[in-house]
A = this chain, B = another copy of it.
Amino acid sequence: MRLTTKGRYAVTAMLDLALHEGKGPISLADISERQGISLSYLEQLFAKLRRNNLVASVRGPGGGYQLNRPKADIDVAEVIDAVNENVDATGCNRRGDCQSGEVCLTHHLWCDLSDQIHTFLSGITLADLVERKDVKAVSSRQEARQAEKMIASDIRVASGL
């Protein structure tokens, strides 16, 4: 089992899409800036999210990504799964052939743990996250930051720098 920045980034980026739903396609450059994730790395993650039909892309200027399903129909477990992070705690992928073809001493323990984690993560949708007050707080802070930056760059442009 593994849960690293890869899966966390994927969920964060998907949540960013959910938060900006209805505003047309969102560019990876925007997500990169708001969430502090490298653009090229986001591209790799979104290639996988797209292959799993979680997002749809629009190319060309003004393009970007959108959720391919209502945010209430996308749960955290599938997002993590889409970027190949394995939320399974067994060593044998639940096959039960952990010790030379047979079940190892702790196989069932890891199965139980896997169930526990999967139940938890698949019970949370992007819509649920959007409604959380901690998410709302962070999101509005990020919006403010981005607005500041845009004003700053407007000044630079206007003054010819």
Contact = CB atoms under 8 A, between A and B. Distances in A.
For this chain, the copies found in one complex come to 2
A109 B89 contact: no
A105 B1 contact: no
A interface, over-half SS = helix
A138 B103 contact: yes
Nearest to A137: B103
B113 A116 contact: no
A156 interface: no
A132 interface: yes
Q: Which of A76, A105, A117, A135 has the most CB of B within 10 A?
A: A105
Given A104-B12, A105-B15, A89 B135 contact: no
Interface residues of A, number: 41
Interface string A71-90: 00000100000000000010
Interface stretch (A2-10, A21-29, A43-51): A2-10
A6 B43 CA distance: 32
10 contacts: A2-B4, A5-B91, A8-B106, A15-B106, A16-B105, A35-B105, A36-B99, A76-B109, A105-B139, A106-B135
